[in-house]
Chains A and B, each alone.
Chain A
Amino acid sequence: MSDMNQAMVQKYRSNFLKEVEANVEEGTWVKMCMQCGVCSGSCPLGPHWEHPQQELFMMIRAGKREEVLSSSSMWMCTSCYNCIARCPRGLPITHIMHGLASYAKRLGLAPKNQPTSKFGDIFWDSIAKNGRVNELKIGVSLYFMNGFSQGIKNALASRELGMAMMKTKRMSPTEYFGGHKCKDLSGIAKMLKKAKEFEAEHITKFGE
């Protein structure tokens, strides 16, 4: 168990709702859910959620901390915002799902080898480093995120698409050696470092 997870278990004891309200993006809205299920019924990947959104909200209130945070459910969110558009209570559900996923990851509870979680890391590392997306490098890292031999298989399977993107000038091999990036990279690094520190401090001290 990560140190931070341990600290949060100690701090909130059996009140998981309070923990979510304090530490999860837009978490203060969770208690407003009236269990109508419109969100779950509106989700494009609905059938793939281990626990649908509506159920997650009830589980949070029931204190099912481990089950919620270690679930693959939140990682099914495609950010289509259908749940937000339709929720009769106006809950920012998409943001809460992102917040839960991100919090689970921070505590080391997100499921290992969850592909979207891994892809999310690759994506974030790339933009934090370059300021802008390097589509080619992210694509290649994505192919290889489950090891070298799988990576070769993935790359071969996608070579037709890669060729088509190059041919239509929507991807350039030179992206691999530099490519699109911001000028003030050191400034962006400083800014993100500070933002990260602020958030970490906010989470450990909140409610004290």
Chain B
Amino acid sequence: MAKKEFYSFYPGCSSQPKASADNFLRSSNAMCDALDIKLKEIDDWNCCGASIGYAGGGEVPRLSLSARNIALSQQQNGDADIVAPCAACWIATREAQERVEHNPKVGEGINAALAEIGLKVESGKMPQARHMVEVLVEDIGLDTIAKGVTKPLEGVKIAGYVGCQTNRPFGIAGESFENPLYLDHMIEACGAQAVDKYEKKVACCSGALMFSEPEKGHALVKDIIEAAYDGGADMIVTPCQLCQMNVESYQSNINKTYGTKFNIPVVYYSQLIAVAYGKSSQEAALDGQIIRAGKLEDIANK
């Protein structure tokens, strides 16, 4: 597939200025600039309901949220692919499409709700909903990305933590659920070294349960970090906003509970690409890390 003229951008709640993935947003802008990816943000997009929306929402209200985004995207950006950098947003959008296509009753409810605001979605006529990673892997290609690298991330060893929702239930075409390789290849395309056989590559960070069941969440994250250290990683890279937050920001809590001494940076793929393409430390939003990625900053500042 070739790069599209532009993509209909659905950033999602965490990737807004001064929200928890502000560092993703900034570095993604730098990455898109470097790779000449053009994004047109969907005006007035709303939350997808995330993975916890089911509790208060119910099926039709929850899916109506995503249907509104699909309909707005179509109204504003025609058939352009909807691109979400957030796994939860991407999954929710695709799930809403699937349900409209396969469950006429739910589809009827969604359209009844959308009719209240003069919108509708039609089975078989919705734009494709894609993850930002799909654009990089499928439309641009990792070989092409590797060719444009001006500052290879030499001497940095990185654990590619794919997590759950970027990988399941849909995942990236051609990759296995148990051992997807695209993130390792992306690390290598940037000139860094990927941790071989990172044991917790597709393990769960506890998702939204980090907030409601913190002890259980900390236990899962502890294993994810431990496995990265075991693989000799200098840092962890992830495609997911919630994984980034959960794995980076609770390390001091985990250290208190378990007597560990974790202090490992957790960055986004967009930060790796931005730095490898010569963007500054600030453009790559390395100042947005709670645990600073010193090795990347050194390369960016060179």
Contacts and interface: CB of A to CB of B under 8 A. Distances in A.
B52 A123 contact: yes
A76 B116 CA distance: 35
A196 B19 contact: no
A115 B213 contact: yes
A86 B289 CA distance: 35
Contacts of B105: 202
A82 B171 CA distance: 12
A184 B45 CA distance: 10
Contact residues on A (Cβ < 8 Å of other chain), bracket: 35 or more
B216 interface: yes
A94 interface: yes
A170 B110 CA distance: 34
B112 A81 contact: no
Contacts of B249: 161, 164-165
B113 to A, nearest CB: 4
Given A123-B50, A191-B116, A170 B165 contact: no
Interface string B240-272: 000000000110110000000000000000000
A45 B47 contact: no
B22 A124 contact: no
Interface string A97-123: 011011001100000000111111101
Nearest to A199: B60
Main secondary structure of the interface of A (DSSP, over half): helix
B23 A168 contact: yes
Contacts of B164: 78-82
Interface in A139-188: 139, 142, 160-161, 164-165, 168-172, 175, 180, 182-184, 187-188
A131 interface: yes
A2 to B, nearest CB: 15
B203 interface: yes
Interface string B163-189: 011001100000001000000000000
Interface stretch (B30-38, B121-129, B138-146, B204-212): B204-212
A171 B86 CA distance: 18
A160 B13 CA distance: 23
Contacts of A119: 52, 55, 208, 211-212
Contacts of A116: 52, 55, 208-209, 212-213
A119 B288 CA distance: 27
A172 B253 CA distance: 22
B20 A102 contact: no
Nearest to B202: A82
A57 to B, nearest CB: 18
Interface stretch (B61-69, B74-82, B231-239): B61-69
B21 interface: yes
A194 interface: yes
Nearest to A106: B58
B148 interface: no
Nearest to A136: B19
Considering the complex of A and B, which 7 residue pairs feature the smallest CB-CB distances, nearest first? A120-B55, A124-B56, A79-B51, A81-B168, A133-B13, A195-B113, A98-B54
Given A99-B54, A191-B116, A202-B109, 14 more contacts: A44-B204, A44-B220, A45-B209, A120-B52, A123-B53, A131-B46, A133-B14, A164-B290, A165-B290, A170-B23, A180-B13, A190-B117, A194-B116, A196-B60
